Amino acid sequence: MRAPEVLGVLLVASITGRYGLAGEVAAAGSAGYALVSPLAARLADRFGQGRVLPPLVRVYAASTVGLIGCAELRAPGWALIPCSGLAGAATPQLGSMVRARWSALLGGSPLLQAAFSLESVADEVIFVAGPVLVTLLATEVHPAAGLAVAAATCVAGSLLLAAQRATQPPAGPVDVRRGVRGHLLPARGLVTLAPVGLFFGAMLAAIDLATVDFAQEHGHKPLAGFILGGYALGSAATGQRRRIGKPRQWPGSPRRSRSAPP
């Protein structure tokens, strides 16, 4: 589960006390992101990040404000869920866009992998520190404070990135490569990876929900952020160990990958 969904859980659960509704709201945000993010990425490639990000950010900000407002007014689920789904659909894909910029600037250079490593380290620091900070805001200041601060930083960062026109990849027609037998899937392996990702995401969402509920049940809800940050710290440590060690070449895998590392 991404940080906005965790904050949605904290917001809805803190105000309504209903973790079932909080899970539904978070699921709507994740579904919106999963369904719309490929289209948003295609539009960014076609028209340029500087043109796509500002309208996307406006929709994200408006839907997030709507979600907070509906939660504060204790609106029914039919009002909360669409707001969350729209906010998830309009969430800017800043990590992918930054990696695309690195690829455009340093493609073919040995510095490209160093840039990807720097980007990954920055992501991992955010994944560790972010849950701690926003959970403290949501539990100690106001239930909406964490989501509001996270949304404000997302909007500010997106607009700053959109303003950097000199570093964005050149826009142009998208080359859609068809896979086997004319299908749009670029590789057969995606048929296997898709359900794996689905169940893995469900497991992560269950862990996040259970962590928040467990911490609240024992009277230590602010510590939920530290626990979630601990999960991210373990992931970061494993990722750094993977980068320090010798990369493993799996049988049948290409020697050089065009995709950016996570």
Q: How does DSSP classify residue 248?
A: P
Average pLDDT in the 238-260 region? 49
Does residue 1 surpass a pLDDT of 80?
no
Does residue 224 surpass a pLDDT of 70?
yes
Q: Identify which has the larger pLDDT, 97 or 249.
A: 97
Torsion of CA 47, 161, 256, 175, to 10 degrees: 0
Q: What percent of the chain has pLDDT over 70?
A: 80
Average pLDDT in the 209-233 region? 76
In whole angstroms, what is the distance from residue 227 CA to residue 229 CA? Answer: 5
Q: How confident is the model over 36-68, as pLDDT tens digits?
A: 988 998 899 999 999 999 999 999 999 999 999
In whole angstroms, what is the distance from residue 55 CA to residue 23 CA? Answer: 28
- The reported pLDDT for the residue numbered 250 is 46
- The reported pLDDT for the residue numbered 186 is 56
Average pLDDT of the chain is 79
From residue 29, alpha-carbon distances to 69, 160, 212 in Å are: 16, 24, 18
Torsion of CA 167, 101, 238, 29, to 10 degrees: 100
In whole angstroms, what is the distance from residue 42 CA to residue 175 CA? Answer: 10
Does residue 232 surpass a pLDDT of 50?
yes
Predicted confidence band of residue 233 (pLDDT cuts 50, 70, 90)? confident
Q: How confident is the model over 75-131, as pLDDT tens digits?
A: 998 999 999 999 999 999 888 899 999 988 988 888 888 888 888 778 877 877 777
In whole angstroms, what is the distance from residue 224 CA to residue 211 CA? Answer: 6
**Tokens read off for 249:** 């070449």
